[in-house]
Amino acid sequence: MKTSKKSRGFTKSIISLCKSASLLLMAAALTVSMGSSLTEIPDKAFAADSTGSEATAEMREITTMELVKEMGIGINLGNTLEATGSWINGTSVTNYETAWGSPVITEEMIKGYANEGFGVLRIPVAWSNMMGEDYTINPSYLGRAKEVVDWALDSDMYVILNIHWDGGWFEKFPSEKEESMYKYTRIWTQLTEAFKNYDDHLMFESFNEEGVWPDLWNFYGSDDGKEEAYALLNEINQRFVDIVRGSGGNNKQRHLLVGGYVTDIEKTVDELYKLPNDPQNRCAVSVHYYTPATFAILEEDASWGTARTEWGTDEDFAELNRLMDMVKTRFIDNGIPVIMGEFGVATKNKTQEMIRLYLSSVNSAAYSRGITPVLWDVTNLHYNRDIFEMNDKVLLEQLMAVKANSAPTASITSYQDGQAINLNSPQIDWTFLDADDADVQAAYQVQASSNGWETVDVDSGELAGASGSYTLNGLADGDWSIRVRAKDNRGAWSEWAYRSLGINTVAPTLNVVLDKETLWPANNKLVKVTATVETDVELSQVELLSITPSIAVGSYESMVQEADFGTFDTEFKLLAKKAKGKEPLVYTITYKAIDQAGNVTEADVTVTVPHDQSGK
């Protein structure tokens, strides 16, 4: 959400509003908060090398869907570390932190969010503030951000850390792509290094709402430029994932939040939006919700719309449910977690009852579909930074009420996603997790599809019981999609948990050819033999299993040398020596191949030391 210092003159084009939905939303709260105490803190207090919560960090074996569910209800630390403006005295971090009306953030302030029941704190940051040459993040600014992150983590909250509007340089991507991508890479390279040892309660977010370029594609006009705009967004998100995964520490397994197209629901569910390729499969999608804009954003009439003071008609609820269902169908139902990183409403022209109705309705619609809602908030709008609690306790109760009977989570524990197996009747195991301690699994359902859920080929139906295991009998070789869901004893179903498997029960073909079939002359010398190994499938492992002589003409060590058994060794030495009597000495060389599904094949070839060459 892009915000502004000023509380007047908020007339924007509708495209600009889509780029930064909160420009108007913050006006009233910002005006009130300008009178807060702006105590100066020396920048030396914000040492960039502070370790905070990173001392004994561990990454859990938890899916991103499970992690997002654990977050519960979230809130933004808005209009604080993301404050920008050329008018700000750029000599200290505190000048930026307090520029848009926030008091200096304290540990007590952050603990207050947790005490009110919020499970995740989203921290928007403008990293360009006080930035040095070559896009070097200011150490004091980074240190201050780390300090706030540490306070949140120490308060047992999750943290989402992003690049926010940051002065609007994202707009330059279409015209100055190389330089913009370089800056983007520099920022995330530094951030991944700074936070690499933090555990999985810290999530990185690729950007805020800036994944939109009206000059490239005006979505109020034609589709000209649409494919290019989505391709650029997808490229940036892929770069984000590649940077994080290629950095050190815990970042290889860190859970990530990737921005949707302008974080707009309808544009993010578009088929042109692609989730980045992530080898860890630990990405969630970010959307925001300020719909309808005439109610959620406008506090006074604008050229593009008339400000609404009321919300809650049948049409309003139908629109809300339609959009949330779109997110669920495109992402949640396909095992892709979603965080609604912002939802909010302009308050100046509305009653408290209307504010509560809208916010609680959006919150409930998202949460009931497995989407984690994160309330947009700025200084003293909803959370009072002076007394460390919510201003409206009724609203707080309504927001938290959705967790009263939270839906459980089912997580498949058998096999890795995309794993190849050699079983036609795989056993599917899962775990049941419910935030309500008293709830237990009462029923479950398992399904399988061989065509990407165009049809369901196998369906267990609803089965009563607390079992965490089910065998899918008689699945044919091929690619299969598996899903499991569980129901608690109060009737709440989990979202589907997904797993893709490739079933292959056919053993691979293994062909071994030696460069020598005969060792001659039999001069009692060691002769190098080279093997060429070929197979018809991609193998997980090929190894030299054994070399067995038919007759001992000396110790084994003297007859077979330089053979590294158990590895893919294709060169070894064999003793060219006659056996006693007239029988030839035959070496049997055995290779073993195991394909990715676990099918095993062995192949034998022989090398002969003949008694004589009279047969030639």
**Rounded percentage of the chain residues whose pLDDT exceeds 70:** 90
Answer whether residue 36 is part of any domain. Answer: no
CATH number at residue 529: 2.60.40
Q: Token digits for 24? A: 């108007």
Q: Are residues 283 and 431 in the same domain?
A: no
Answer whether residue 18 is part of any domain. Answer: no
Q: Name the residues annotated as catalytic.
A: 209, 342
Q: Token digits for 605? A: 């070839």
Q: Are residues 429 and 553 in the same domain?
A: no
The DSSP-derived string for 81-143 is TT---TTS-TT-HHHHHTTTSPPPP-HHHHHHHHHTT--EEEE---TTTT-BGGGBPPHHHHH
Evaluate whether 341 touches 77 at the Cβ level (below 8 Å): no
pLDDT over 50 at 186, yes or no: yes
pLDDT over 90 at 19, yes or no: no
Q: Are residues 173 and 312 in the same domain?
A: yes
Q: How far is Cα 599 from Cα 533, in angstroms, rounded to an integer?
A: 17
86-110: average pLDDT: 97
Q: Are residues 172 and 269 in the same domain?
A: yes
Answer whether residue 614 is part of any domain. Answer: no
47-75: average pLDDT: 76
Q: Are residues 389 and 433 in the same domain?
A: no
CATH number at residue 498: 2.60.40.10
pLDDT over 60 at 44, yes or no: no
Q: How far is Cα 306 from Cα 309, in angstroms, rounded to an integer?
A: 10
Is the pLDDT higher at 196 or at 540?
196
pLDDT band of residue 614 (cuts 50, 70, 90) is low
Q: Which domain holds residue 435?
A: 409-503
**Rounded percentage of the chain residues whose pLDDT exceeds 90:** 79
Answer whether residue 23 is part of any domain. Answer: no
CATH number at residue 302: 3.20.20.80
pLDDT over 50 at 128, yes or no: yes
Q: Are residues 460 and 539 in the same domain?
A: no
Cα–Cα distances in Å, from 17 out to 2, 248, 278?
A: 9, 38, 31
Q: Are residues 470 and 341 in the same domain?
A: no
Q: Is 450 exposed, middle or buried (0-12, 13-18, 19+ CB in 10 A)?
A: middle
pLDDT band of residue 49 (cuts 50, 70, 90) is very low
Per-residue model confidence as pLDDT tens digits over 100-109: 999 999 999 9
Is the pLDDT higher at 579 or at 189?
189
Beta carbons within 8 Å of 59's beta carbon, 6+ residues apart: 199, 200, 250, 253, 254
pLDDT over 90 at 54, yes or no: no
Q: Determine phi and psi for 467, rounding to 5 degrees.
A: -60, 145
Q: What does DSSP assign to residue 66?
A: H
Helical residues (DSSP H) of 219-313, grouped into ranges: 226-245, 265-268, 293-296
Q: What is the pLDDT of residue 547?
A: 97
How many Cβ atoms from other residues are within 10 Å of residue 285's Cβ?
25
Q: Are residues 427 and 453 in the same domain?
A: yes
Per-residue model confidence as pLDDT tens digits over 245-285: 999 899 999 999 999 999 999 999 999 999 999 999 999 99
Q: What is the pLDDT of residue 2?
A: 45
Helix (H, G, I), strand (E, B) or coil at 61: coil
Q: What is the pLDDT of residue 65?
A: 92
Q: Are residues 374 and 305 in the same domain?
A: yes
Residue 531: beta bridge partners? 514
Q: How far is Cα 386 from Cα 200, in angstroms, rounded to an integer?
A: 30
Beta carbons within 8 Å of 203's beta carbon, 6+ residues apart: 67, 158, 159, 160, 161, 254, 255, 256, 257, 284
Helix (H, G, I), strand (E, B) or coil at 445: strand
Per-residue model confidence as pLDDT tens digits over 453-509: 999 999 999 898 999 999 999 999 999 999 999 988 877 889 899 999 999 999 999
Q: Token digits for 425? A: 């009747």
Answer whether residue 425 is part of any domain. Answer: yes
Task: Using the 3D structure, point to which of 401, 417, 445 is the last residue of a domain.
Answer: 401
pLDDT band of residue 4 (cuts 50, 70, 90) is very low
Evaluate whether 573 touches 544 at the Cβ level (below 8 Å): no
Answer whether residue 576 is part of any domain. Answer: yes
Q: How far is Cα 535 from Cα 511, in angstroms, rounded to an integer?
A: 6
The DSSP-derived string for 334-384 is GT--EEEEEE----TTS-HHHHHHHHHHHHHHHHTTTPEEEE---TTTSEE
Evaluate whether 426 touches 470 at the Cβ level (below 8 Å): no
Q: How far is Cα 522 from Cα 525, in angstroms, rounded to an integer?
A: 8
Looking at 18-22, 153-157, 163-167, 404-408, which range is the least confident one?
A: 18-22
Answer whether residue 438 is part of any domain. Answer: yes
Residue 607: beta bridge partners? 587
Q: Are residues 376 and 325 in the same domain?
A: yes
pLDDT over 70 at 26, yes or no: no
Strand-strand pairing, 389-390 and 372-375: unpaired
177-185: average pLDDT: 97
Model-level pTM? Answer: 0.66
Evaluate whether 290 touches 24 at the Cβ level (below 8 Å): no
Answer whether residue 574 is part of any domain. Answer: yes
Count of domains observed in the chain: 3
Average pLDDT, the chain: 89
Q: Are residues 170 and 263 in the same domain?
A: yes
Task: Using the 3D structure, point to which of 487, 503, 519 is the last residue of a domain.
Answer: 503
- CA neighbor of 15 nearest in space, from 23, 6, 7, 25: 23
pLDDT band of residue 169 (cuts 50, 70, 90) is very high
Task: Using the 3D structure, point to which of 384, 401, 418 is the last residue of a domain.
Answer: 401
Helix (H, G, I), strand (E, B) or coil at 595: strand
Amino acid (1-letter code) at residue 502: G
Looking at 243-257, 291-305, 533-547, which range is the least confident one?
A: 533-547
Q: Are residues 70 and 208 in the same domain?
A: yes
- CA neighbor of 79 nearest in space, from 134, 126, 15, 139: 126
